[in-house]
Structure 1
């Protein structure tokens, strides 16, 4: 009996291990990424001493289907990417697309604004070798980018999302996390949508886009995911205009009802007076 149970446990272990092995696979990107399609901002967090830190910026495009992620990495050899296909977007075969890496080996470069400005003006992707693997960890799909050695520079790719006005993502291993909303969209109204957890700072960039900032060291351990619900700037105005129009309609209806009621009461009084007059006339004739 013990031997039989041992065989069953071994069989289950083999099945489990084979399933785990099958889930992990290497990703091959067929086409090189388009460098010019991304914004490579050297984010300094308003620091006077111009120090840099690992930063991830998500640019939500106007179609609300694609989101561009641009990582400013410093001395990193591995990056974890969480595609949002669990929310209805993305592809199992192509979890990321338009992949671009403008990086240099950390041991031959200096992580300062000048280096990143030079890399942002590059016309060719780096020749650093890398591997992309996809795996399922604790029920979540994870894409791991690995370089042969630590690198410094920009890493960019595009994620496909469900196309709703809600963007949810796992907190990456970056000190600064930024979300740039499409032009003409905002967040922060509790009726129409807010960001959870609350961002550390909210600004408007030169193009009029609302930009949200989170600082990882200031976030609690439970806040593993960030969700941003956004809406058009005109949505509150149209909403309140509709409310005012509805209230005005109600006032008009009540006014007409009150007027009609008074007219009916006047007619009823006249009718009652005529009826009373006729009764008096009948009694007099008798």
Structure 2
């Protein structure tokens, strides 16, 4: 069996140059005891824990995070129909991560339904009761350069929770203000913006590309801001379908073959894939 696996990359920095390293922070949490001693409630009904931590490989930190569920369990599916899952709970889903110390790069399984990258950092800081780390998305340099070099004919951006954008860079201000005002005025939870040259010659201005790059850097950074879609159409793209800029520039999405449903097997298979992806990411 296989599953779709999305990897995203982030640069981890220290907010205090004299503060604990990423490795020390994770080690401090892991040494609290068994997994049950590592629970932390990020929000109502949102409990996470550092499940695994592997420090044996020099220069790398690997592990997994689990989100616990106490209610709303899935059903067991039989030929006769669906029945109650025969467990008392809680149950959980996990994501894997791998950190390369030499360039402070975090590769993390991206599944915000379980734990978003931002919540992963919030877990560490909440558990240790202090702000410690900055987190910046790492964009694929080659894909980003192709986007910058190609004349831009159309851009589409879809944002949920548009009233929570906060302070943004200058190229994004006009769009961010529009999103926020529309969200407040019409109580719209999701807003889509599209700009296009239509049948006119030429391309959208450079500020449009800078604006799109700005929204890319918001993804996964703030759970109050949900950038759902960034699609772009350039003159050098074959066909009429715009590319998904998020997948092109921010993510690596591939299928992973899983040996079984055993949690240890799933962790080993997913981590093996993550190691390969990180090795190919400069």
TM-score w.r.t. the length of structure 2 is 0.25
Q: Which has the larger radius of gyration?
A: 1
If asked which structure has higher relative contact order (CA below 8 Å, sep 6+), I would say 2
